[in-house]
Structure 1
């Protein structure tokens, strides 16, 4: 575990802290012809070797550097202005997965310890359940009450913002329950109510107010039930 943390630190230093915006711009412009791409690759290899602080790890540091460069090249060649965010996420996930693979290979652990841990699977299932599956469930349940938009041109909200807010609030509730901070759930609900109050007051639409209230209560209710269920299952494993 400590080796992975060191390699993750090396990745954060190389990809964010010590990579100027000018390097990024030059790489996006010149791609494989950019000298900064190869400096960036070398930096990652050096950081991995230095932070691992083991002579035997040097060949693995070389592999990290080379694979990092390959992933970056794929991103630079396939990303478009509209897909930069998606490729950034894919790029970072790929780098982290490679680091995990390197750690498992170096420590001769074909199967990660967490893979055999029942607590991990319970937590992961609860976490994922509260994301898109719950959003779809809530949307389906309250769709019969969805108010008609009188003027869609006046809707200045961000795309899918409500969906992401719902997911985040459920995950916060989930975390609060597992850490025993039930009082924080009340603060979260109050904070959302305050922010929503202004929008609903301006809308002057009772149906919209009731629609939002139903969705919020269902969202919090499901998060509470899942959190308590996961907590109960975890306690049974102790």
Structure 2
């Protein structure tokens, strides 16, 4: 379990946190000819090796990098604009299955985290999960619905404000769960609903209202599930 969390952390860092949008665009445009594809693969191998913290794990880190490259190349060559969301989900599931397989294959129960204790790494992984990775996941999932009127109501909005609001609400939700203040989640959801009510009422657009509700519920759902999993994992360590 601990090794898998470390590898998952490496995956989150390599695939979301430390992969600029310019890399993604270049890979989609040039596919196997993109230098950033190979930098991305190399980064995943390095992160897996460093976070595993064992010299004996280096061959497995190389295997993770190679399989990651194969999965990414497959996605790049087969994804189209109309099925991009599907390939994103398939791509992430494939990466997770590889990490699970590597964890089971390595079978070294003596591995322990470097530098910090297990609680730190579990918390860090969970926190990272509800930031940019969760935002990309939500955006991909709800991209099938894109109300036309949504664009007309974004002119007076701050750049990327919705994205940062979502990240903050998920971080706060996880924090409330870990500190045992479940009632605060209700206040947070109510506060967001009140602020959103004016915009939705003015828009008079049922599709936009449903679009916002779906995104909000998915966002809170991810945060609540992540918080409960983190809480269960941390309780096992006490």
Provide closer, same or farther for how the CA distance between residues 175 and 150 of structure 1 changes in structure 2, counting only shifts above 3 A: closer
* Matched residue SS, 1:155: coil
Alignment of 1:12-91 (within 5 A): none
* 8 A contact 1:114–1:120 mirrored in 2: no
Query: 1: distance between equivalents of 2:231 and 2:151?
Result: 44
- Could you tell me how far 1:150 is from its partner in structure 2? 7.0
Q: Cα RMSD over matched residues?
A: 1.8
**Cα offset, 1:146, TM superposition:** 1.3
Structure 1 residues 234 and 218 mapped into 2: Cα distance closer, same or farther (>3 Å)?
same
- Could you say what secondary structure the match of 2:221 adopts? helix
Partner of 2:205: 205
1:116 is paired with a residue whose SS is: coil
Q: Is the 8 A contact 1:126 1:226 kept in 2?
A: yes
- Name the counterpart of 1:225: 225
Change (3 A) 1:153 1:217: closer
Q: TM-score, normalised by structure 2?
A: 0.51
Structure 2 counterpart of 1:71: none
Q: 1:151 to 1:121 in 2, by over 3 A?
A: closer
Q: Deviations over 1:4-35 (max 9, x none)?
A: xxxxxxxxxxxxxxxxxxxxxxxxxxxxxxxx
CA contact (8 A) 2:127 2:171 kept: yes
Alpha-carbon distance between aligned partners in 2 of 1:121 and 1:196, rounded to the nearest angstrom: 35
- Equivalent residues in 2 for 1:92-171 (5 A)? 115-149=115-149, 152=152, 155-171=155-171
Q: Structure 1 residue 194: deviation in Å?
A: 0.3
Counterpart residue number, 1:77: none
- The higher-RCO structure (CA 8 Å, 6+ apart) is 2
> Which consecutive residues of structure 2, in runs of 5 or more, have no partner in the other structure?
1-112
Q: Distance in 1 between matches of 2:114 and 2:168?
A: 25
SS of equivalent residue, structure 2 residue 115: helix
CA contact (8 A) 1:171 1:223 kept: yes
Shift of 1:139: 0.3
TM, length-normalised to structure 1: 0.51
Larger gyration radius, structure 1 or structure 2: 1
Count of aligned pairs: 126
Which residue pairs with 1:192 in the alignment?
192
1:148 Cα deviation (Å)? 1.6
CA deviation vs aligned residue, 1:165-206 (integer Å, no higher than 9, x gap): 000000000000000000000000000000000000000000
Q: Indicate how the Cα distance of structure 1 residues 153 and 189 shifts in structure 2: closer, same or farther if over 3 A, else same.
A: closer
Task: Measure how far apart 1:116 and its partner are.
Answer: 3.0
Runs of 5+ unmatched residues, structure 1? 1-112
Alpha-carbon contact 1:177-1:228 (below 8 Å) kept: yes
Q: What's the offset of the Cα at 1:130?
A: 0.3
